[in-house]
Structure 1
Amino acid sequence: MVLAVVVFAVVGVARVLAGPEDRTTGGLQPGVASTTTESPHSVEGDDGVVEPAPTATAALDPGPSLSPGTQQIERVAKDFAEEWLNRTAKADAWHAALVPNTTRTLAEKLEGVDPVVVPAERLTGAATVVPQGSGLAEVSYPVDSGTLVLRLVVEEGRWLVDGVDWERG
């Protein structure tokens, strides 16, 4: 019983000395923002990791060096997205339009795909760019049926799309 009183006294004194805690920020000091984002591949539940909110202006570490005059990541992603959404194109023309902005690996995976299977028709908002590491980023676009998620990598001195995913909205 005496031990319990001592523990409560120590905790009480520590709280008084630490000052009031702002419960709305989870104990962070006022003015310190805390935001978390759900990765499209995350499992349900909080993993306890705090990540910055995605922004279109996030500084990207291109990792491997980019060639002079290389298109910005947003331009490459938008060019790819607009061509990917062109469901009325013939398969060969659709593939040929995607190739300039894709890695060889992705170009091979998309070969022979009929664009009619693309699950969206148009972009409905601006891109969100989330750096994923050195020379790697994820660009998301809201589309009429969900979210188009593109993985871009620096390859051959420029940003190229290396992965395509779609999340139902």
Structure 2
Amino acid sequence: MPIRTNRGRAAVYRRLWGWPLRSPRHLMGALVFLAILVTALGIVLPKVVGKPQAKAAPPTYGVTISSTAPRPGLAAPGPTSNLPTRLSTPLATPTPTTPNGDAIRVAKDWAAAWVNHPAGITSKQWLAQLKPFTTDEYLPVMATVDPANIPATKVTGEPVVGTAYPKSLQLTIPTDGPKLAITVVSTNAGWRVADYDQAS
């Protein structure tokens, strides 16, 4: 028989709300049912309602990023930037100049010291000959050379200048062994040899 009075409905509601409080067993059953109901709603509701709209992207300061979706068959556009390029002005290329006479003299003196390794000379003595004409940075490299292994004993000709710049000079000096390809640079202490190689 249907309930037609408010008083009857209130009694039914009281019985429903009071049921979980009748015993601990009823309370546990009600809590388990409520947990299952909340979990089910959490799974079903997003599918029924649909995915929420994506949040607006935070503002980007100085950088414009394209958000248009790529068309089928076309590559996605890359982000564009208003930032300046790394090098706004090109680096100046040093221009060749006439060879510096002091640089050539230092190269000749260095080559004369390099070939001067009589029998019995120590590496320390040989390095002391090169020190006045060598950069401080290159001296440790020269300290690894054993003068007994140098296949030349004298300079046999004048230097041949390769390239000359305001602060550096590359030249070749012939010896009775290999030719010496020498690089001389301008330092605070004057012109000094910064590198060499044995050319054929």
TM-score bracket, shorter-length normalisation: 0.5 to 0.7
1:131 aligns with: 163
Other structure's SS at 1:93 match: helix
How many residues matched? 103
Counterpart residue number, 2:117: 87
Q: Deviations over 1:68-105 (max 9, x none)?
A: xxx71121111110110112232111101101111111
2:197 is the alignment partner of 1:165: yes
Give the counterpart of 2:149 among 94, 112, 117: 117
The answer on whether the counterparts of 1:92 and 1:112 sit within 8 Å (CA) in structure 2 is: no
| Structure 2: stretches of 5+ with no match in the other structure | 1-95
Partner of 1:73: 103
Partner of 2:129: 97
More helix by share: 2
2: distance between equivalents of 1:131 and 1:157?
A: 22
Q: Cα gap change, 1:163/1:120 in structure 2, threshold over 3 Å: closer, same or farther?
A: same
Distance in 2, matches of 1:81 and 1:148, equals: 8
Structure 1 residue ranges (4+ consecutive) displaced by more than 6 angstroms after TM superposition: none
The answer to whether 1:59 aligns with 2:98 is: yes
Aligned-CA RMSD value:
2.1
Q: Larger deviation: 130-139 or 151-160?
A: 130-139
* Distance 1:157-1:92 versus aligned 2 partners, 3 A rule: closer
Q: Which residue of 2 aligns with 1:29?
A: none
8 Å CA contact 1:138–1:151 kept in 2: the answer is yes
Q: Quick one: distance in 1 between partners of 2:172 and 2:130?
A: 17
Structure of higher CA gyration radius: 2
Query: Normalising by the residue count of structure 1, what TM-score does the alignment of the two structures yield?
Result: 0.55
Letter in 2 for 1:73: A
The one of the two structures with greater contact order (alpha-carbon pairs below 8 A, sep at least 6) is 1
- In 2, are the aligned partners of 1:149 and 1:166 still within 8 Å (CA)? yes
Structure 1 residue 112 displacement after superposition: 4.3
TM-score under structure 2 length normalisation:
0.47
Q: Is the 8 A contact 1:91 1:115 kept in 2?
A: yes
